[in-house]
Amino acid sequence: MSRGTCPRLPATLAASRRNGMDASIIAHVDACPECGPAVALDRALGRMAAVEDARPFPSAEAIRLEGLLELERRHRARAAAVRVGIHAAASATCVGLLAAAWLLEIRAGSPSAGVTSAACGAALAAVAMSLWNLARVVDEAAAVS
């Protein structure tokens, strides 16, 4: 056996919330087994909210949007962390290439063995570019967080 709700319940609650209850609505609330407890409960909750200085609950749409924004923040933070890791690995690889080029030139006994040689110069340029990119990506990742 299902019990239907009173068709006047939304209008009764609206009138109660705006303090616009006339004699016919008051008589209906006193006689209706659904509207009476609903209005009493609504008034009790309103008094409790006023005492606690509570703000109204946000709408379901606002809660959903906040959830989507939080998911987007997490996604961006994760992507930024991956980019920082990739650039850190690239920088370490470039430093390794510089060291390898320098050591190979020293072992080969090249007269211009040192950081000024062509291979070492190119590796040094790669290190500088990779460190600049790493600094840029770390700065962008800090802005995301």
Q: What pLDDT, in 10s, does the model give residues 32-64?
A: 888 888 888 888 887 877 666 656 667 778 888
For residue 1, being part of any structural domain is answered with no
Count of domains forming the chain:
2
Whether the predicted pLDDT of 145 surpasses 60: yes
Same domain for 82 and 133, yes or no, is yes
For residue 117, being part of any structural domain is answered with yes
Please state the pTM of the whole predicted model.
Answer: 0.51
For residue 95, being part of any structural domain is answered with yes
For residue 130, being part of any structural domain is answered with yes
Mean per-residue pLDDT for 116-140? 85
Whether the predicted pLDDT of 69 surpasses 90: yes
Domain assignment of residue 126, given as a range: 73-144
* Distance (Å, whole) CA 16 – CA 145: 46
CB atoms within 10 A of CB 29: 23
| Segment (H or E) for 26 | helix 23-31
For residue 100, being part of any structural domain is answered with yes
Same domain for 79 and 136, yes or no, is yes
* Distance (Å, whole) CA 142 – CA 80: 9
